[in-house]
Structure 1
Amino acid sequence: MESLQPHPCLEKLYVKGYGGGRFPSWMMDELHLRLPNLLHIHLEGCKISQILPSFAQLPFLQSLDLNGLDEVEYMMECSSKLPFFPSLQRLQLSYLCKLNRLWRTDLPAEQLPLFPCLSQLVIEYCDNLTSLTLPSSPCLSKIEITCCDNLTSLPLPPLPCLSKLHIDQIPKLASLELHSSPHLCYLCIKSCP
């Protein structure tokens, strides 16, 4: 995979079952310059890869799906000096058993990244999450969080466009903070004793 040199006009990248501990250099080093036209990324079953490429700086990325990355503890570094997912609309995190936070950062809460276009967020089977601070997004309309066995706290930021909130099978959930959501028309909280 190190020798692969995708064309700079590539729009979709699907990687399944990659066995390296580190993604190849063309993914890790300035991906936003090498593949600036990426719209969709799906990584699945990359069992021993620990550090993800800097997807956040891809200017046109619309959907990111991470599934079965057993060693990933956080999605990415966060810097207030660079744009952060400027076009991302859909984020899905599934079966990330060591994920303990969305990003690694020392920034104060008021400087955490804004996802300007994110409209759909799905988080499922991420058992190492104990608390989840969701990104603020003016467009976020659908949130689904399921089967996160150790999640105890879910403070939601103000989400003016939120229309669907689905929380299911989070047995340790003790705190849910939901601000006024005038467009909320679907609310499901199930199997959260």
Structure 2
Amino acid sequence: MAEQVLESLQPHTNLQELAIRGYEGSLFPAWMQGSSSLPNLVSLTLDSCYNCTQFPAIAQLPSLKFLGVRKMYDVKRLTNNTCGVTKFPSLELLNLWEMYGLEELFEASEGDCGPRLRKVCISRCPDLKRLPCAPSLTELVLHCGHQLPDIPELASLVSLKIEGFHGVESFGLPASAALPALKKLEIRSCKELSSVDGLTALTSVQRLKVAGCPKLVLPRTGSLTS
């Protein structure tokens, strides 16, 4: 019933903002699949769509700049079988919350994804194993997980915040060459954290903030200030 109702609510192609909350169906409507039905959509929010195991095929929406997804527990990735084309060509801001089954944002073999992506906030995605290469990304926030996902080379990243990884005792940061633009690093509320590998190698960092990490002993280096 829920699927039929949503299918019948196909919007005009001029729609710029769409939010779907509390959807009880297992499949998203056909008009959300592909780019032709929503060519002008700028903002999309999907919240509490618990029964959906597949993410809608929205990776080719040409105008989408903001994507927020919350409480889609069984979704493993945001794209499926979209090789050969650029995914999320206009996306600038990506927010993900409580995606407990999420393993990766995009398949590693898919090629270019989010060429304009500048800010990513990820909270409570404990199974997330790695992040994609995003050449334009300037700000990354990682909040509450069982392990820190692998951070790839991010040439434009200026600000990195890691918060709420309560049970993590140690993690490693990429080499300075992989984060050449990083200026601000913030680590908060990691109660068991005792060591951070690669911290002293991040010579570009100008501002370091550490709070709520009682077991972490910072190395002495003139290149970092807290």
TM-score, structure 1 length as denominator?
0.86
Tell me by how many angstroms 1:175 deviates. Answer: 3.1
Q: Does 1:165 align with 2:160?
A: yes
Tell me by how many angstroms 1:116 deviates. Answer: 1.3
Q: Does 1:62 align with 2:57?
A: no
Report the number of matched residues: 183
Distance 1:178 1:49 in 2: 38
| Aligned CA distance change for structure 1 residues 176 and 112 (closer, same or farther; 3 Å) | farther
Q: Does 1:188 align with 2:193?
A: no
Q: Which structure has the larger Rg?
A: 2
Tell me by how many angstroms 1:189 deviates. Answer: 2.3
Residue 153 of structure 1 contacts residue 174 of structure 1 at CA under 8 Å; is this kept in 2?
A: no
Alignment correspondent of 1:20: 25
Tell me by how many angstroms 1:82 deviates. Answer: 1.4
Secondary structure of the residue that 1:82 maps to in structure 2? coil
Q: Which runs of 5+ in 2 are unaligned?
A: 1-5, 194-226
Q: Does 1:90 align with 2:93?
A: yes
Distance 1:25 1:60 in 2: 19
Distance 1:63 1:168 in 2: 23
Distance 2:175 2:98 in 1: 25
Residues 42-191 of structure 1: pairs in structure 2 closer than 5 A = 42-104=45-107, 107=109, 112-129=111-128, 131-132=129-130, 134-149=131-146, 151-157=147-153, 159-170=154-165, 171-172=167-168, 174-180=171-177, 181-190=179-188, 191=190
Q: Which stretch shows the higher mean deviation, 166-175 or 67-76?
A: 166-175
Secondary structure of the residue that 2:141 maps to in structure 1? strand
Distance 1:86 1:67 in 2: 22
| Aligned CA distance change for structure 1 residues 182 and 175 (closer, same or farther; 3 Å) | closer
Tell me by how many angstroms 1:9 deviates. Answer: 0.7
Distance 2:149 2:91 in 1: 25
Q: Which stretch shows the higher mean deviation, 134-143 or 16-25?
A: 134-143
RMSD: 1.9
Alignment correspondent of 2:214: none
Q: Which stretch shows the higher mean deviation, 39-48 or 166-175?
A: 166-175
TM-score, structure 2 length as denominator?
0.74
Residue 8 of structure 2: which of 3, 27, 31 is its match? Answer: 3
Secondary structure of the residue that 1:103 maps to in structure 2? coil
Residue 92 of structure 1 contacts residue 122 of structure 1 at CA under 8 Å; is this kept in 2?
A: yes
